Amino acid sequence: MGTSYGDDAMNYQITKDPIKIENVVQKVVQREAGAITTFIGTVRELTHGRRTLYLEYEAYESMALKKLEQIGKEIAEKWPDTKTAITHRIGRLEITDIAVVIAVSTPHRAESYEANRYAIERIKEIVPIWKKEHWEDGEEWVGNQLGTREYTDGKPGEEDLHD
């Protein structure tokens, strides 16, 4: 098991199991840290006025893990002495289920907030995870997490898997 920029590869996970927040947080605890911030992304019921029943997340897992590690490296370069852990869930998620947990530790709080926000924005930009929304009156593959690209056949095309 190798390390990169102080983060263990096990700090980045894709799972079908419910995410335990404390497990993600424990991965970033360090003596040098004066702050740990967490972001917990949950499944909401209403999106653009439509009632969601549940979501299905899918991922190109090997690429998604590489991209999560890349985000950790980017954070470490921008904010030295930072440690990051990200776990994203796939499969069927019900309303209020946790879809993603990001934990970031830094020596000071401002950097911790900034790095954590950076992580979620980058996940939406570059990590090949997509979702199908199930509503009372239908369902739809949403496409990329920014909502800028549709995946009409339920998964990204080859052109979508490169940045």
Model pLDDT for residues 41-88, shown as the tens digit of each residue: 999 999 888 899 999 999 999 999 999 999 999 999 999 999 999 999
Residue type, 90: I
Residue with tokens 């709080």: 109
Enclosing H/E stretch for 38: strand 35-42
The token pair at 138 is 């239908």
pLDDT-derived band at 20 (thresholds 50, 70, 90) equals very high
Taking the domains of the chain in order of start, what are their residue ranges?
Answer: 9-160
Task: Kindly tell me if the per-residue pLDDT of 131 is higher than 70.
Answer: yes
Top CATH class of 9-160 equals alpha beta
Helical ranges in 11-147 per DSSP H: 21-26, 61-78, 109-126
Q: Quote the percentage of the chain above a pLDDT of 90.
A: 74
Predicted TM-score (pTM) above 0.75? yes
Backbone torsions φ then ψ of 119, nearest 5 degrees? -60, -50
Lowest mean pLDDT segment, chosen from 19-33, 80-94, 104-118, 125-139: 125-139
